[in-house]
Amino acid sequence: MKRYILVVDDSPTLRTSIDITLREFGFETIEAQDGKDGLEKLKEAMKNGQSIKMIISDINMPVMDGITFIKKVKKTPFKYIPILVLTTESEEEKKLEGKKAGAAGWLVKPFRPDQLMYVIGKFVR
């Protein structure tokens, strides 16, 4: 059974590097370019019977930012999927805002593949 991770980031380069890392560890990725696109991709995944095990989201994105995206996800049937924030933001205030919105973890870019997989391993078996 395929294990999917939704990657929400406005940088195609970053989405590709996360995809490469995750595929090495047996995950498939579904990519979205902002929070609004992320919500649509979640609905599509549900229709297609794809089981999303985790969401990785940036904070600073056009159309819908990561904090708003997390808050909206937490009001859907996907509310129990762990959300990892992967962002350039490192201020405690932003981290608290993310945690309050429902983020399960926070990693600061640039990420190391082993670091990313360690955090994912805490949430996904």
User: How does pLDDT run across 63-102, given as a tens digit for each residue?
Assistant: 999 999 999 999 999 999 999 999 888 889 999 999 999 9
Domain of 17, in residue numbers:
3-123
CATH number for the domain harbouring residue 31: 3.40.50.2300
| Per-residue pLDDT band at 5 (split at 50, 70, 90) | very high
Number of domains in the chain: 1
Backbone φ and ψ for 84, nearest 5 degrees, come out as: -105, 125
CB 101 within 8 A of CB 31: no
- The stretch 51-63 carries a mean pLDDT of 94
Closest CA to 10 of 54, 58, 70, 45: 58
79-to-40, 42, 102 alpha-carbon distances in Å: 15, 11, 9
pLDDT at 1 over 80: no
Q: Give percent of the chain above pLDDT 90.
A: 75
CB 56 within 8 A of CB 21: no
| Per-residue pLDDT band at 125 (split at 50, 70, 90) | confident
17-to-22, 73, 122 alpha-carbon distances in Å: 9, 24, 21
- The stretch 28-39 carries a mean pLDDT of 96
Closest CA to 101 of 111, 87, 114, 115: 87
